[in-house]
Amino acid sequence: MRFNFESLFLLSSFLLPFTAAQLSGSVGPTTSYADKRKKVCAVTAYGAKADGKTDIGPALSAAWNDCKSGGAIYIGSGTWAMNTWVTLTGGTGVVIRLDGVINRTGTDGGNMIMIEHSSDIEFMSGTGRGAIQGNGYIFHQQGSLSGPRLLRFYEVQDFSVHDIALVDSPAFHFTMDTCSNGEVYNVAIRGGNSGGLDGVDVWSTNIWIHDVMVTNKDECVTVKSPAQNILIENIYCNLSGGCAFGSLGADVDISDIIYRNVYTWGSNQMLMIKSNGGSGTMKDVVLENFIGHGNAYSLNVDQYWASMSPVAGDGVQLDNITFSNWTGTCSNGIQRGPMQFKCADGAPCTNMQVVDFAMWTETGTSEYEICRSAHGTGGCLESGSGEYDAVTSTITATPSGYAAPTMAADLSTDFGTTMSIPIPAIPTMYFPGVQAISAKNGPGGCVSCSTAAAKI
């Protein structure tokens, strides 16, 4: 789907605050799905078989080479094995339609499917049943995170990824590195209960990520540096590590980012900004409409993050960041308070705004807020400038309006690391009371196809 700036502006007038214009221009493919499918390269024509054992890698590479100048690569229903990885380079006007399940059978590291130096690209399922099954548990039960990522985009512009599931990656599930003008939506990710299994990581420009569900124990949807003009909304962190910025190191350059409508259930944090030393700037960020339940941390700014080795520099400068309309509960407000600003003494946080923050503890009758070298309004933030020692405030009164809805699909147990993880259905809702922006199997797809049409 090509979603241009004018359409987004009109949508924002009725459904969203004007800040939806955080995007700097159009996102998504520039050529219609109908135009792309005028030439079809079905992987079966290149030797692929949906028998669960024949390596699809060579056939996918051959199909890409024939369709890379404009066309549709079709991977039909059934079970496909992938023993060798593919790097798909230099494509223009290509759709990869995955309606079956690709099972990882190879053992190399790297990236199972990597698309690079390409434009006008669509990666999707027309039935909503397409998936990549990484079988990461085979690595993880041996204590290894050395396996491949499932999907990586590098220097890709004008693209979309939608209506697919990414499951049990041996390492990260999906990364967007130095990309532009992209849209990611209607994606379900399920990983193991371990660090190093990120859901979606993005360091790019002008990207719209919406309607995404992640289960894992590391990053849910995370922005890294450099990144500008990123709009992230309707995100469901369902037993996940939670959303984050970072880790932030040297020469950070992040600006004009919005997270909106983020629901976090039983996760490490609702949102974390993490660094330890470093340099550069993160500024002009809005984090609004967050609902949390049972998370270890809620609002967590930690510029002394112990899990990261210190980076040379006085600290990353955080400026003009708004936290607005946060509700729900944290797991234990005394062990880990729902609001924490541990800003770098060498680069104190400036222009922080906390508005309508109503988080309460599920354990006990009190909670705390802590601020260090953090300046702005709301919560424990202080006016003025400069560094100051940590100040802790204990709260004993239940905040008004902390109660928040839950989601029917909230998980009660994680998927561990030693057994196969089932492929989830694509949800229709990712935030309480808010329907997905694009219908399942939406533009570019096919909700109900005849046998003949299902070929592409």
Residue positions annotated with a catalytic role: 218, 293
67's enclosing H/E stretch is helix 57-67
Relative to beta strand 367-372, strand 391-395 is antiparallel
Contact 231, 204 (CB under 8 A): no
Contact 248, 394 (CB under 8 A): no
Contact 188, 165 (CB under 8 A): yes
DSSP structure string for 153-166: EEEEEEEEEEEEEE
Residue 365: count other Cβ atoms within 10 Å of its Cβ: 12
H helices of 85-161, where?
A: 137-140
237's enclosing H/E stretch is strand 227-238
**HSE, side-chain direction, 13 A CA sphere, residue 25:** 10
Give the start-end residues of each E strand in 168-306. Answer: 174-190, 200-215, 221-223, 227-238, 243-248, 252-265, 271-275, 280-295, 299-302
Round to the nearest angstrom and report the end-to-end CA distance of the chain.
Answer: 16
The single-letter code of the amino acid at 442 is G
DSSP structure string for 297-358: -SEEEETB-TTS--BSSS-PEEEEEEEEEEEEEES-TTTS-SEEEE--TTS-EEEEEEEEEE
Residue 259: count other Cβ atoms within 10 Å of its Cβ: 24
User: Residue 2 carries which DSSP code?
Assistant: -
Rounded Cα distance, 150 and 199, in Å? 10
Contact 398, 358 (CB under 8 A): no
Which of 90, 109, 88 is CA-nearest to residue 43?
Answer: 88
The single-letter code of the amino acid at 342 is K
Phi, psi of 142 (to 5 degrees): -105, 5
Indicate if the alpha-carbon torsion angle 10, 15, 18, 20 is positive or negative. negative
Residue 451: count other Cβ atoms within 10 Å of its Cβ: 6
